[in-house]
Amino acid sequence: MATINELNERIHAGSSEEIVAEYLERIDSSKLNAFITVAKENALARAKEIDSEGHEGSLAGIPVAIKDNISTKGILTTCASKILTGYVPPYDAHVIERLKEAGAVIIGKTNMDEFAMGTSTETSFYGPTRNPWDTDRVPGGSSGGSAAAVAGSEVPLALGSDTGGSVRCPASFCGVVGLKPTYGVISRYGLISYANSLEQIGPFATTVRDVATLFDVIAGYDARDSTSVDKEVNYSSALKNDVSGLKIGVPEEYFGEGTDENVEKTVWNAIHTLEDLGATRVEVKMPHTKYALSAYYIIAMSEASSNLARFDGMRYGLRTEDSDWHTTFSQVRAAGFGDEVKRRILLGTYALSAGYHDKYYLKALKVRTLIKQDFELAFKDADVLIAPTMPYPAFKLGEKIDDPLSLYLADVDTVPINLAGVPSISVPCGFSHELPIGMQVIGKHFDEATILRTAYTFEENTDFHTREPEGF
């Protein structure tokens, strides 16, 4: 695993092409199935260009992998769904424009749960991605391809998206760093929506510093996204090895029933490490946490049922045999969507329907307000909150995929953060039976600086992030 700094030394000597070629080779020989599309020609051409012409950007010549729900001009973008077969966007997402400006080399598009609906990357039309720590296990999801690619040294940096934990969960399962920023900090323009009011694009890397560098490139105001916030910050400069006086809140609600004993122990150890480094612990109560999961799924599925209506085969993607439009729409959608996507469209449609709208959708919005209040109250006393990212380490492929409810329950610690719109970073904090465990450091709205500093300090004083899966 190489960091940006390590790669930069070689790139400055003029060998981005060599680096890109090395990563392409690793992707080529990989058993992880982390990529749906490898943009080999484009990537090599771009690296060559940077080698010959030079580039001043902070990511000049560095390969970056992109989750396949982020629009890339000229590169197939499928959302891991059959329904987007052959869809090549005519435009770049805002984050892709930013990456290109910074000199990054787009190396390919990573596997994911279909339309980001899942916690294991098993719902992909292109088959599951495997966890480099144990290839019989899932990498987490939905950005499993991005996390596995970084953990498996197939790419140094990657982008994912986090609607209810889809960056943090795979970061935790794969032992890498993943950040879900405050809602509105990164433009969603070009991110194919699953649940618009909840999701953010987020960076993956092997270190907090690299995450911050990537975050600096992609964050910032974009007029095309009405929910984008006009706030320019330099996050890398916030990285100080210092948590003295930091007040950490530990919500006991996040250590509830179903939390693995080793996970609980490991996260507490990490908290004690930070206390040893000068942080103090404060009491926080987050009483509405238990309602978060239901509210999250109702809101996410409701929005999804509408967002996914556009996939009708009329303009792009899968097209079945032509009939009258009513029939063609139905056939395209029946053939193009996988089971989990259909389940969520059906449930979301139901939740928004006349007679149920108030009972489900409106009630979920009310719960969302209460969850937000929980965070506001907690942050009166605490600077950051620390909790497990996932209640357990990576599970086995196939273990939960036929039991949707138990898969949904895996998101219990991540979804409240999306409901509240606050930032959270997952960092490796230990291992259980050779599987990585992640803790999440949750911050106030727009206070990425403090959670990045906390995570950085932890990283500087521990060595969990330096361990690599065997054989990768």
Partner 1 sequence: MYDNPDGVMIGLEVHVQLNKLKTKVFCGCTTDYHNDPPNSHVCPVCLGLPGALPKINKKAVEAAIKVGLALNCKIEEHTQFYRKNYYYPDLPKGFQITQYDFPISSGGHIMIEGEDGEHRVGITRAHMEEDPGRLVHEGTIDKSKYTLIDYNRSGMALLEVVSDPDMRSPKEARRYLDKLRNILEYLDVFDGNLEGALRVDANISIMGGQRAEIKNISSHKGAERALLYEIVRQKNVLRRGGIVVLETRHFDEAREITMSMRSKEEAHDYRYFPEPDLVPLKISGWAPAIKETLPELPDARRLRFVEQYGITDDHAKALTSELKLAIFYENVAKKADPKTAAVWICDVLKGELNYRNLTIDSFKKEHMLSVIGLLASKKITEDGAVDIIRTLLDKGGSPDEIVAEKGLLKVEGDIVSTAAEEAIKENPQAVADFKAGKEKALNSLVGAVMKKTKGRADARAAREVLLGKLG
Catalytic residues: 67, 142, 166
The residue (of 129 and 305) whose beta carbon lies closer to partner 1 is: 305
Which residues in 308-327 contact partner 1 (CB under 8 A)?
A: 308-312, 314-316, 325
CA end-to-end distance (rounded Å), the chain: 9
Quick check: 189 binds partner 1 (CB under 8 A)? yes
The token duo for 158 is 């990657």
Q: Which of 357, 363, 372, 467 binds partner 1 (CB under 8 A)?
A: 357
The residue (of 193 and 454) whose beta carbon lies closer to partner 1 is: 193
The residue (of 316 and 472) whose beta carbon lies closer to partner 1 is: 316
Which residues in 206-265 contact partner 1 (CB under 8 A)?
A: 223-227
How distant, in Å, are the alpha carbons of 65, 199, 286, 446 from that of 99? 11, 20, 38, 22
Q: Which stretch binds partner 1 (CB under 8 A): 18-26, 163-171, 192-200, 371-379?
A: 192-200
Helix (H) or strand (E) holding 387: strand 384-388
Q: Which stretch binds partner 1 (CB under 8 A): 46-54, 303-311, 391-399, 431-439?
A: 303-311
Residue pair 293/371 in contact by the 8 Å Cβ criterion: no
The residue (of 353 and 461) whose beta carbon lies closer to partner 1 is: 353
Residue pair 258/412 in contact by the 8 Å Cβ criterion: yes
Cα–Cα dist 278/450, whole Å: 15
Q: Which of 42, 306, 320, 432 binds partner 1 (CB under 8 A)?
A: 306
Quick check: 334 binds partner 1 (CB under 8 A)? no
Q: Which of 30, 71, 200, 426 binds partner 1 (CB under 8 A)?
A: 71
Q: Which of 11, 59, 79, 117 binds partner 1 (CB under 8 A)?
A: 79
Cα–Cα dist 192/289, whole Å: 28
Q: Total number of residues binding partner 1 (CB under 8 A)? A: 45
Residue pair 99/218 in contact by the 8 Å Cβ criterion: yes
Cα–Cα dist 342/334, whole Å: 8
Phi-psi region of 336 (alpha: psi -120 to 50; beta: other; left: phi over 0): alpha
Residue pair 442/376 in contact by the 8 Å Cβ criterion: no
Q: Which of 193, 207, 418, 454 binds partner 1 (CB under 8 A)?
A: 193
Helix (H) or strand (E) holding 63: strand 63-67
Residue pair 54/24 in contact by the 8 Å Cβ criterion: no
Cα–Cα dist 306/299, whole Å: 11
Quick check: 182 binds partner 1 (CB under 8 A)? no
The CB-of-67 to partner 1 minimum distance in angstroms stands at 12
Cα–Cα dist 239/449, whole Å: 8
The CB-of-301 to partner 1 minimum distance in angstroms stands at 12
Quick check: 305 binds partner 1 (CB under 8 A)? yes
Interface ranges with partner 1 (CB under 8 A): 69-71, 77, 79, 84, 87, 89-91, 93, 188-193, 195-197, 223-227, 302-303, 305-306, 308-312, 314-316, 325, 329, 349, 352-354, 357, 361
